[in-house]
Amino acid sequence: MIMMNEVQVMDEKQTKIELIKDRFVEGWLKNIDVDEGWYQIVIDCDKELSEIDPDYQIYQIKQKFGALRYYTKITQPFNEQLYLKVNSIINKYESISKVTCEATGLPGVLMKSNGWYRTLNPSWCAASETFKNYKIVNTVDFELLQDREDRDLA
């Protein structure tokens, strides 16, 4: 059962995601092709990028092979420091996506079903009709996830 404040948080995230769509380069599809579990990652990445280039633009935001892909156009004159900073920010959030369930925002690992890769929470997948066929790709990642969840419960 979804509680009222969970719905409010999701509505706030959805509103922020819709505002980020205004940054898309003219002529590009204004579609942020990630599930709700990654909305906060996209929102945080946008916030950091806009701090160094308030007018930066987006070509594409999507999931590919279980990781976030964030393609941008910087509006500031090119300089190496800015380029490195933008790449550092994007790399940081792409790395976060690799350990965050796309569907729920819970800790996740790379999983696969019929050639499709996604980062998902194994426990949530097992209980999900839609994602129950996904299997863990790397058992070492799953063991690390279990250790992290055990520490969080302690």
**Start-to-end CA span in the chain (Å):** 26
SS3 content of the chain, % helix, strand, coil (to 5): 50, 20, 30
Q: How confident is the model at residue 94 (pLDDT cuts 50, 70, 90)?
A: very high
At how many degrees (to 10) do helices 80-97 and 39-52 cross? 170
pTM attached to this predicted model: 0.83
Whether pLDDT at 11 is above 60: yes
- 3-class DSSP assignment, residue 32: strand
Domain boundaries, the chain: 4-97, 109-153
> What is the DSSP code (8-state) at residue 55?
T
Q: Is 39 helix (H, G, I), strand (E, B) or coil?
A: helix
pLDDT in tens, 101-134: 999 999 999 999 998 899 999 999 999 999 999 9
pLDDT number for residue 151: 65
Confidence of residue 9 (pLDDT cuts 50, 70, 90): low
> Band of the pLDDT at 78, cuts 50, 70, 90?
confident
Q: Is 133 helix (H, G, I), strand (E, B) or coil?
A: coil
Amino acid symbol at 55: D
pLDDT value of residue 115: 83
